[in-house]
Structure formats: structure tokens, C-alpha cells
Amino acid sequence: MSTAENGTVPVAVIGSGNIGTDLMVKVLRHSPTLRMGALAGIDPASEGLARAARLKVPTTHEGVAGLAAMPGFADIKVVFDATSAKAHVRNAEVARQHGKLMIDLTPAALGPFVVPAVNLEAHLEAGNVNMVTCGGQATVPVVAAVSRVVPVAYGEIVASISSRSAGPGTRANIDEFTETTAEAIRAVGGAEAGKAIIVLNPADPPLVMRDTVHCLVEGPVDKAVRERISDSVEQMVETVRAYVPGYRLKQDVQFDAVPEALVPELGRRVGGVRVSVFLEVRGAGHHLPDYAGNLDIMTAAAVRTAERTAALRGWVKPS
């Protein structure tokens, strides 16, 4: 277990809400290489800033401007943005001006999409990388797992999360969620076209995150190919589980014949086989409740991206 004192790569978090606080806790207690340099917010009375102060993490309630003015900012290597798509524009510009790696947890998507299990090493030189969305982090790896075996004409995902784990930022960015996730299904997952749907489930007690992934593959798919697809999906799930322990398949990969039908996103009729994958994402419980797997997978993916990038850029001091 790491502490703020023995991590070797200083990082800062902008946003003192649930996501920002969970990032801070992950860095302080669970990262062997990262060290908390600062937590920035805009509400001086926020619980996140108060907790950071108790943990002896430097804080500011003056947002990105206050962060940039802090004495230790020059040493910061990585800045996590856990604010909003709108606020990210300014935050990203400040990070760029100071030469910091920006890891964006908002749906702003100013930089390339990164899903650690799929394409992290393709963007090691980027100054700003986007973590897509919670639905994207959970489902794009599965689309990629299918598309590395056979071409995927169309990918559709449904992310169902507890309404209790959908804060003001998530609710304000629903449109960005669907657009960003659909684009990542194509750009990272490898599908020709994609669609994303999010469902806020009001059940009480709250349900953990559930994700359904449908991949439409044109033409017949014989038994051998189906086995290769299933193996590929299972291998990808294990890759994601390395940094999101609560990520798992709910049942075996399903295959169904699909009659030819019009797919508006493709602008043509398609027939073949539908590959269906059902997932559950349970949070690690570091700061957030375990049902908030949608938030946990974002922070876990962001920390993994920072750790891996730091190692490959040579920022990690040898032990």
C-alpha cells in the first residue's frame, strides 16, 4: 500500500466531489507509484477538501487557477480533471501551458480516447487523454475483443447505473455521455458504427452497475469462430479485472441469428449474428459505495493510465 510520502510521481486532482475524492484515496492508499500533490476544488466548504486537509494533502478552493499558483505545482506530472465537460476546456489549457499530462474524466473529449485495456500505449505522447465515460470504460473493451476476431458492423451498449451514483455532473452530461461513448465504440472498439444508451435505475436498495453489449457481425459465424470470440471476450474481461476487480461477466457470451434489418447508424440493411455480452461492475469501496461501479471504473482506469504512462515515460524512480 502506498502513501502520500512514498509515491514517486506527484499528481493533482481538480474536482473535490465524489470522483475527485475517490481518485485521491486510490492514489494515497492503493497506488505504488503515484503521490498526491494537491486537490483543487471551488467550494471551500466541500467535504472532499476537508478530507484532503485531514490527510495532509495540499488543497485550494480556487480551482485550476489556485492549483497553478500553489508552490508545489511545478513538480506535478499528472493532473486529473474530475469536474465537467465545460470546465475542462479551461483546465486543459492551464495544464497544457504548464506542460502537465492531463487525464480527463469528463465527457469533453478534447484529447484522444484511452481505454487502458485496449489502447493506452497508442497515445503515450499525448498531452491530454480522455477516459471516455463509465459506460465506455466498461463496454468498449468487449467491443474491441469481438472486433479483433471478426469485423463488427454495429455495436450497441446499454449502461444501467444506480440513480444514487449519478451526481449532478453525470446528469448534466447525459448527451455528452451518449455521443462520446458511441464514438469510442467506433474509434477504440473498432465497430463500423455504434450507439450508447444510459439508464438511471431508481431501485432501493441500489443496484450495482450492469452493462449489456450487442455486437452485430455480418454473415455466418461458425462454431470455431464463436469459440474464438468467447475466448477473446473472456481474456479481455481478465485484463480489465487487473485494475477493476469488481468487473465480471454475468453469463456466457451469447450468439443469436439476426434477420436482415435496417441499421440507421449504418444507413443500410444488415444481417448476420448478434454477439451479446452481459457485465456487472461492482466498485472497490475505496471511497464510494460498492454499488457505484460506474464511478469506480472511471477512477480505476484513470489511475491505471497515469501509472502506466508514468512508467513508460520514465518518470518512476527505480526501487
Tell me: is residue 294 an annotated ligand-binding position: yes
Query: Would you say 106 is a known binding-site residue?
Result: no
Residue 319: per-residue pLDDT = 58
SS3 per-residue string spanning 240-303 = HHCCCCCEEECCCCEEEEEEEEEECCCCEEEEEEEEEEEEEECCCCCCCCCCCHHHHHHHHHHH
| 48: β partners | none
Strand partners, 57: none
Q: Quick one: pLDDT at residue 2?
A: 35
**Any idea where the domains of the chain sit in the sequence?**
9-131+297-312, 134-291
pTM confidence score: 0.94
Distances (CA, A) of 312 to 79, 184, 188: 17, 24, 21
Q: Rounded to whole angstroms, how far apart are CA atoms 181 and 244?
A: 19
**Alpha-carbon span 157 to 250, nearest angstrom:** 15
> According to the annotation, is 58 in a ligand binding site?
no
Does the domain spanning 9-131+297-312 belong to CATH 3.20.20.70? no
220 is an annotated ligand-binding site residue: no
pLDDT one-digit tens code per residue, 53-106: 999 999 999 999 999 999 999 999 999 999 988 899 999 999 999 999 999 999
Tell whether residue 172 is among the known ligand binding residues: yes
**What are 281's strand-pairing partners?**
209, 247
Q: What nine digits make up the cell of 77?
A: 506530472
Which residue in this structure is represented by grid cell 453469463?
Answer: 251
19 annotated to a ligand binding site = yes
Query: Does 16 appear as a known binding residue?
Result: yes
Domain 134-291 has CATH 3.30.360.10: yes
- 48 is annotated as contributing to ligand binding: no
How many angstroms separate the Cα of 277 from the Cα of each of 225, 232, 318? 16, 12, 41
CA dihedral 241, 103, 9, 35 (to 10 degrees): -70
For 128, 203, 252, the CA distances from 96, given in Å and listed in that order, are 8, 42, 44
At residue 213, the pLDDT reads: 98
Report, as ranges of residue numbers, the positions in the chain whose pLDDT lies below 50. 1-5
Q: Say how far apart CA 32 and CA 64 lie, in whole Å.
A: 26
Question: CA–CA separation, 256 vs 172, rounded Å?
Answer: 36
Q: What is the pLDDT of residues 236-257, one digit of tens each?
A: 999 999 999 999 999 999 999 9
Q: Determine the 3-state secondary structure of 26 from DSSP.
A: helix
- Nearest to 109, CA basis, from 161, 13, 54, 180: 180
pLDDT at 61 (0 to 100): 98
**Is residue 160 annotated as involved in ligand binding?**
no
- In sequence order, which ranges of 104-222 are alpha helices (DSSP H)? 116-119, 134-147, 168-172, 174-187
Active site amino acids: 134
